[in-house]
Chain A
């Protein structure tokens, strides 16, 4: 006995079997003995959410830093955000105004549609070539032709203001983190948390502090879009060659000179990747932030969703897609612009900046012409095309012709898979789940991981979120399974056939640039509201990483190993199952990990189509401006994400070690 037990403990599979057996036995035997282990008693719930709400109330009403109160602080932040936003909306949408509210008088008209299109075409050509210029120009022309111009310009003006602030803030924080290891240690967990807390949860306290309106939306957008810039900045500064840093120090740079004259310029190409991310995340958030008062395209989608006006919603949704594609391609082109070539110094400023001059001239000319010809100032109404009725009748046609088929699929899935799985998960005693998570953490990463996984799960329990959390896990789990079942084979196929790979990559890239809101429209159109619709939206949204990581994992296998397999006479099937998949598995696991993260973030958005999970809880908190409720539910989602992330990352690491692969690519 004494010698048998440790031996048994050393065998991994035995531990799993033991833990699972014990928990099943426990669940079956103790139903009546210890009911509190099955259903967490209401009296034991830690009322943290009320405490948070009270704290927020105190913050807004009474908190003071001596010279000024907390409200003064939020007001001054609001003022700081308000005037650039006013300027940007003035330029792009409403025209510059003098005076307040209804007394406001327009001083100048906004930039005309021709001026804006001309400017983006010039940027496209400057950043790459005529092809890109045509694409970007075409995208903006689409917005004008299909009557989405004004909403799109309001959205764009938010982005124009949010992006520079987000980039500057991220850059500064990144620089501080690069310089001070202490600050880096402090900020890393915050960044992790910010990327896993669902977006809605940001909105609640911001709504509380800034009130409903475009400024609150702007604050949320900046906070949401900044963390990747911080990370990219740290990475970019670290990747500057040691010799360049040594050089900077050898010529006697002060710390400030080293940062601004050497490190930042030398890492510019990588920093631009961060800028692209900030732009895309800002777009995503500006759309979502329509819930707390951002106008523009997001508001159009939201309003259409609420009215169930499929046609209008799809129109606005497509406009978001078009805007996203234009912004993404343009900023990527700027990021990958070839480095400068030497110039003839004799040429003047105008000769060296032809595109800037042309664009400025174009703006002035169209602006003046617009004063006399209204058709140049605003796109003529008579030439607008509306597709709303077309989409509405298309949806109607689909529903008339395919209603039965769609409904049958939906019902079969619901009855056969979704509901039983949901029942099973909700039926599990919380104590067993927490225990199993702790065991899994211990096996995969030692006692610290065990403590983390078990502790976070326990926090979800004692804050009274257990049942909603399990519904979240159920929806997320099913969606991830389906996304994996589709994504991994597609990724394998994409890796093995080059042309297919190119097509798949293009599709995936586009899918990833789309704001999450956009996915809701077609799903609601076909399946109406409910868990099934939510699941479909989540699967589509979360598919990309599963495909991408699988394809990457298969492509990076050492060709010698493939040759060894061929030499050993493997069939194609054996090759796949015995060589490629096992070797690509760690990478595939990381892809699934990313899929889970995306699924969780999308799941919260799907609260709009009527789920009952933690996302719905956050959404309700948002509509009621109940900070405590929103933060507790939002953190619970983040905890689920962190548990999944750490367990999978640890598992992937172990696998890499076992396969003798380098630890590159592992999440730190």
Chain B
């Protein structure tokens, strides 16, 4: 249903406004005294730890929103505030326009049962249950009868490619397989909002790669609204529609991978983006020259350079860059592509 609608035009599924999480005694009173805007020095002086400071994000329907930060940056705390696993010190968390912080315990249980799913870094599988039992567990908690919940569990197990392993116990599976179980389990209830807390961080690099592809395949089919936590910038670039970068509890920039690479807000963000291959991030639109002359062919404005490089490089004339409506918005030539590939600043890059 979202196909064709650009991310920024879709409705907001989950938003948080002015969310704070301070650890320590009397964090509420402290925040109120400082008018919900204490500076770092004041927080430190009060002996508090500012795990999340004034976080504002909007996650739109069907997008992969990645929260990226190094360990201790507060990303895990933020996602636990969003899912209300821990209580925020202040702020609003709006899920489909309703403030979660005002929901009672019963209502919260109902929302979690029907609308949210979560995947954990260390899988969090129940050791005493088989794969089938684990995947069916969220439905068991809801009181769904055995044959129905097991039928549904078998469906999602097949979706993640674990058919035949239903009777296995978690410790009999490899890390990658265990996380497939974790993913299947979180999808069993068909959640609308899908939290993934560093889901691939505990896996070997090769398996991680494979699981990222698997994740993208699933998302192609399911189109969930996703909040994805990672400390791996490469992973964020590969998977994200938009990325929020956190440092010391603050979100310092939110943008698409391309925006982060072309216009880092701070030196800290620039440091992350330095080693990212530009060709995989930059689109034709961001490096194109003004239209004119005669074209060898057409490329889409949002095509990544890496995808069109061979084609453009092989031609002796530039390509036309066309927008979503089919109009020519610019041209791209061999020199520009090569400049991007070797990491030199393309001379005619459009201003961000």
B113 is an interface residue with CB less than 8 A from chain A: yes
Looking at B112, B122, B141, B168, which has the most chain A CB atoms within 10 Å of its CB? Answer: B141
A341 with B169: in contact, given A250-B118, A251-B112 (CB under 8 Å)? yes
A345 is an interface residue with CB less than 8 A from chain B: yes
B141 near A342 with CB under 8 A, answer: no
B167 near A342 with CB under 8 A, answer: yes
A251 near B128 with CB under 8 A, answer: no
A339 is an interface residue with CB less than 8 A from chain B: yes
- For the complex formed, measure the closest distance between the CB of A496 and the CB atoms of chain B, giving whole angstroms: 36
A342 near B169 with CB under 8 A, answer: yes
Neighbouring B residues of A252 by C-beta, 8 Å: 109-114, 138, 141-142
Report how far A626 CA is from B42 CA in the complex, Å. 64
B319 is an interface residue with CB less than 8 A from chain A: no
Neighbouring B residues of A341 by C-beta, 8 Å: 169, 172
B228 is an interface residue with CB less than 8 A from chain A: no
- For the complex formed, measure the closest distance between the CB of A20 and the CB atoms of chain B, giving whole angstroms: 41
B126 is an interface residue with CB less than 8 A from chain A: yes
- For the complex formed, measure the closest distance between the CB of A397 and the CB atoms of chain B, giving whole angstroms: 57
Report how far A265 CA is from B189 CA in the complex, Å. 22
Residue of B nearest to A344 (CB): B167
A249 near B112 with CB under 8 A, answer: yes
A462 is an interface residue with CB less than 8 A from chain B: no
Q: How many contacting A-B pairs (Cβ < 8 A)?
A: 73
A241 near B167 with CB under 8 A, answer: no
Size class of the contact patch on chain A: 20 to 34
A251 near B171 with CB under 8 A, answer: no
Report how far A426 CA is from B167 CA in the complex, Å. 70
Neighbouring A residues of B122 by C-beta, 8 Å: 241, 243
- For the complex formed, measure the closest distance between the CB of B200 and the CB atoms of chain A, giving whole angstroms: 15
B309 is an interface residue with CB less than 8 A from chain A: no
Looking at B80, B85, B128, B137, which has the most chain A CB atoms within 10 Å of its CB? Answer: B128
B128 near A342 with CB under 8 A, answer: no
Looking at A247, A253, A254, which has the most chain B CB atoms within 10 Å of its CB? Answer: A247
Count of B interface residues, CB-CB < 8 Å:
35
1/0 contact string of B207-224 vs chain A (CB within 8 Å): 000000000000000000
Neighbouring A residues of B127 by C-beta, 8 Å: 266, 339
A247 near B112 with CB under 8 A, answer: no
A268 with B128: in contact, given A250-B118, A251-B137, A339-B169 (CB under 8 Å)? yes
A266 with B112: in contact, given A243-B120, A251-B141 (CB under 8 Å)? no
A340 is an interface residue with CB less than 8 A from chain B: yes
Neighbouring A residues of B195 by C-beta, 8 Å: 250
- For the complex formed, measure the closest distance between the CB of A519 and the CB atoms of chain B, giving whole angstroms: 40
B116 is an interface residue with CB less than 8 A from chain A: yes
A261 is an interface residue with CB less than 8 A from chain B: yes
Report how far A298 CA is from B171 CA in the complex, Å. 44
Using a CB-CB cutoff of 8 Å, which residues 337-364 of chain A contact chain B? 339-345
A249 near B85 with CB under 8 A, answer: yes
Residue of B nearest to A345 (CB): B167
- For the complex formed, measure the closest distance between the CB of A126 and the CB atoms of chain B, giving whole angstroms: 17
- For the complex formed, measure the closest distance between the CB of B150 and the CB atoms of chain A, giving whole angstroms: 11
Residue of B nearest to A265 (CB): B128
B177 is an interface residue with CB less than 8 A from chain A: no
Report how far A252 CA is from B191 CA in the complex, Å. 12
- For the complex formed, measure the closest distance between the CB of B129 and the CB atoms of chain A, giving whole angstroms: 8
- For the complex formed, measure the closest distance between the CB of A87 and the CB atoms of chain B, giving whole angstroms: 30
Using a CB-CB cutoff of 8 Å, which residues 261-283 of chain A contact chain B? 261-262, 265-266, 268
A246 near B80 with CB under 8 A, answer: yes
A371 is an interface residue with CB less than 8 A from chain B: no
B83 is an interface residue with CB less than 8 A from chain A: yes
- For the complex formed, measure the closest distance between the CB of A269 and the CB atoms of chain B, giving whole angstroms: 9
Neighbouring A residues of B120 by C-beta, 8 Å: 243, 246-247
Neighbouring B residues of A244 by C-beta, 8 Å: 124, 126
- For the complex formed, measure the closest distance between the CB of A419 and the CB atoms of chain B, giving whole angstroms: 57
Selected contact of B83 from candidates A243, A250, A265, A344, CB within 8 Å = A250
1/0 contact string of B165-182 vs chain A (CB within 8 Å): 101110110000000000
B121 is an interface residue with CB less than 8 A from chain A: yes
Report how far A30 CA is from B303 CA in the complex, Å. 100
Report how far A243 CA is from B111 CA in the complex, Å. 19
Neighbouring B residues of A268 by C-beta, 8 Å: 128
Neighbouring A residues of B118 by C-beta, 8 Å: 246-247, 250
A61 is an interface residue with CB less than 8 A from chain B: no
- For the complex formed, measure the closest distance between the CB of A477 and the CB atoms of chain B, giving whole angstroms: 44
A108 is an interface residue with CB less than 8 A from chain B: no
Neighbouring B residues of A247 by C-beta, 8 Å: 118, 120, 124
Residue of B nearest to A250 (CB): B118
- For the complex formed, measure the closest distance between the CB of B265 and the CB atoms of chain A, giving whole angstroms: 31
A262 with B138: in contact, given A246-B118, A250-B112, A342-B167 (CB under 8 Å)? no
Neighbouring B residues of A250 by C-beta, 8 Å: 83, 85, 112, 116-118, 195
Neighbouring B residues of A342 by C-beta, 8 Å: 130, 165, 167-169, 172
Residue of A nearest to B189 (CB): A251
B128 near A266 with CB under 8 A, answer: yes
Report how far A246 CA is from B195 CA in the complex, Å. 12
Report how far A266 CA is from B142 CA in the complex, Å. 20
- For the complex formed, measure the closest distance between the CB of A255 and the CB atoms of chain B, giving whole angstroms: 9
Neighbouring A residues of B167 by C-beta, 8 Å: 342-345
Neighbouring B residues of A340 by C-beta, 8 Å: 128, 169
Using a CB-CB cutoff of 8 Å, which residues 83-133 of chain B contact chain A? 83, 85, 109-114, 116-118, 120-124, 126-130
Residue of B nearest to A269 (CB): B127
Report how far A568 CA is from B265 CA in the complex, Å. 55
A251 with B113: in contact, given A339-B169, A342-B167, A343-B167 (CB under 8 Å)? yes
- For the complex formed, measure the closest distance between the CB of A28 and the CB atoms of chain B, giving whole angstroms: 52
Report how far A341 CA is from B80 CA in the complex, Å. 34
- For the complex formed, measure the closest distance between the CB of A263 and the CB atoms of chain B, giving whole angstroms: 10
Report how far A244 CA is from B123 CA in the complex, Å. 8
Looking at B109, B124, B127, B129, which has the most chain A CB atoms within 10 Å of its CB? Answer: B124
Report how far A249 CA is from B137 CA in the complex, Å. 12
Neighbouring B residues of A254 by C-beta, 8 Å: 109
- For the complex formed, measure the closest distance between the CB of B208 and the CB atoms of chain A, giving whole angstroms: 18
A510 is an interface residue with CB less than 8 A from chain B: no
A253 near B83 with CB under 8 A, answer: no
Neighbouring B residues of A246 by C-beta, 8 Å: 80, 85, 118, 120, 124
- For the complex formed, measure the closest distance between the CB of B210 and the CB atoms of chain A, giving whole angstroms: 22
Report how far A339 CA is from B83 CA in the complex, Å. 32
A257 with B124: in contact, given A250-B118, A251-B189, A341-B172 (CB under 8 Å)? no
Report how far A68 CA is from B137 CA in the complex, Å. 45
Neighbouring A residues of B111 by C-beta, 8 Å: 252
- For the complex formed, measure the closest distance between the CB of B110 and the CB atoms of chain A, giving whole angstroms: 7
Residue of A nearest to B172 (CB): A342
Residue of A nearest to B112 (CB): A252
1/0 contact string of A313-330 vs chain B (CB within 8 Å): 000000000000000000
- For the complex formed, measure the closest distance between the CB of A631 and the CB atoms of chain B, giving whole angstroms: 41
Neighbouring B residues of A257 by C-beta, 8 Å: 141
Report how far A491 CA is from B171 CA in the complex, Å. 37
Neighbouring A residues of B80 by C-beta, 8 Å: 246
Report how far A247 CA is from B122 CA in the complex, Å. 11
A339 with B171: in contact, given A244-B126, A246-B80, A251-B138 (CB under 8 Å)? yes
Neighbouring A residues of B172 by C-beta, 8 Å: 341-342
Report how far A339 CA is from B167 CA in the complex, Å. 14
Q: List 5 A-B contacts (CB under 8 A).
A: A241-B122, A244-B126, A247-B124, A254-B109, A339-B169
Interface residues of A (CB under 8 A from B): 241, 243-244, 246-247, 249-254, 257, 261-262, 265-266, 268, 339-345
Given contacts A241-B124, A251-B137, A340-B128, 15 further A-B contacts (CB under 8 A): A243-B120, A243-B121, A247-B118, A247-B120, A250-B83, A251-B138, A252-B109, A252-B110, A252-B112, A252-B113, A265-B126, A265-B128, A342-B172, A343-B167, A345-B167
Interface residues of B (CB under 8 A from A): 80, 83, 85, 109-114, 116-118, 120-124, 126-130, 137-138, 140-142, 165, 167-169, 171-172, 189, 195
A-B interface, 4 closest residue pairs, ranked by CB to CB distance from nearest: A252-B113, A252-B112, A251-B138, A243-B124
